[in-house]
Amino acid sequence: MTYRRVLLKLSGEYLMGNLGYGIDPKVVADIAEEISEVVEQGFQLAIVVGGGNIFRGVKAASAGMDRATADYIGMIATVMNAMTLQDALERANIPTRVLTAIAMQEVAEPYIRRRAIRHLEKGRVIVFGAGSGNPFFTTDTTAALRAAEIDADVVLKATKVDGVYDSDPALNPDARRYQSLNYGHVLTHDLRVMDSTAIALCKENNIPIVIFDLSVRGNIVRAIQGEPVGTIVGGFCEVS
């Protein structure tokens, strides 16, 4: 099975690489290179980028900050990542548009659903910045929401591990990787593939989620082509 329109969720932490904070330009350049293969093969790609490498609302709120204010700052942080990604993609000759859920018209287009779809149809990569525009949400939930809105065939959740295991492989040498999982299992066992709101949204809209290791070259294209590169949520539970 090959997916046509894809929503890639990139966390801020992924962009940080091994740095303690901020953005590793090498990581961003590598992602741009991977994405150029996706675009060359004619797939439509939308990206939701996180902001945890710069600011996390929950963390600031636990230190006493007003939660909604902290979340708005978190959303603004995601725009920095989105613009950085756009810069790297355009340097790799990939036409890219940043669409933000909080208006910042000097630096990005406002998010307009029909316009987002039009960009995809024209072969442009779109990067959604500023999350959903609402505090108390996450960029995982934004990924599920935008995927449903633009009628994406799949959510690709990029991580540094090759899928979901039945126990921690760092602690248990017999840990087994799930080839596939159903939404209910992820929710009832709190597997933290994505947050539960995101899982519930994907479940309701029948959007599969693939959890895969982005650091392995060629994995985005493999995941889009339906190769078993990680764990797919949306089928039956099966361990490899």
Chain residues binding ligand UDP by CB under 6 A are: 11-13, 50-52, 56-58, 70-71, 74-75, 78, 131-132, 134-135, 137-140, 142
Residue nearest to ligand UDP (CB): 50
Question: Nearer Cβ to ligand UDP, position 161 or 239?
Answer: 161
CB of 225 to ligand UDP, least distance (A): 25
Identify the bridge partners of residue 239 per DSSP, sorted by sequence position: 178
Question: Nearer Cβ to ligand UDP, position 13 or 166?
Answer: 13
CB of 131 to ligand UDP, least distance (A): 2
Question: Nearer Cβ to ligand UDP, position 44 or 81?
Answer: 81
Question: Nearer Cβ to ligand UDP, position 39 or 82?
Answer: 82
First vs last C-alpha separation in the chain: 19
CA-CA distance, 18 to 100, in Å (whole number)? 27
CA distances (Å), origin 40, targets 115, 118, 120, 173: 22, 18, 13, 39
CB 167 within 8 A of CB 173: no
For residue 125, report the phi and psi dihedrals to the nearest 5 degrees: -80, 140
Hey, what are 199's tokens? 């899982």
CA-CA distance, 141 to 70, in Å (whole number)? 17
CB of 126 to ligand UDP, least distance (A): 16
Q: What residue has token string 């017999």? A: 174
Question: Nearer Cβ to ligand UDP, position 83 or 180?
Answer: 83
CB of 124 to ligand UDP, least distance (A): 23
CB of 22 to ligand UDP, least distance (A): 12
CA 46 to chain centre: 9
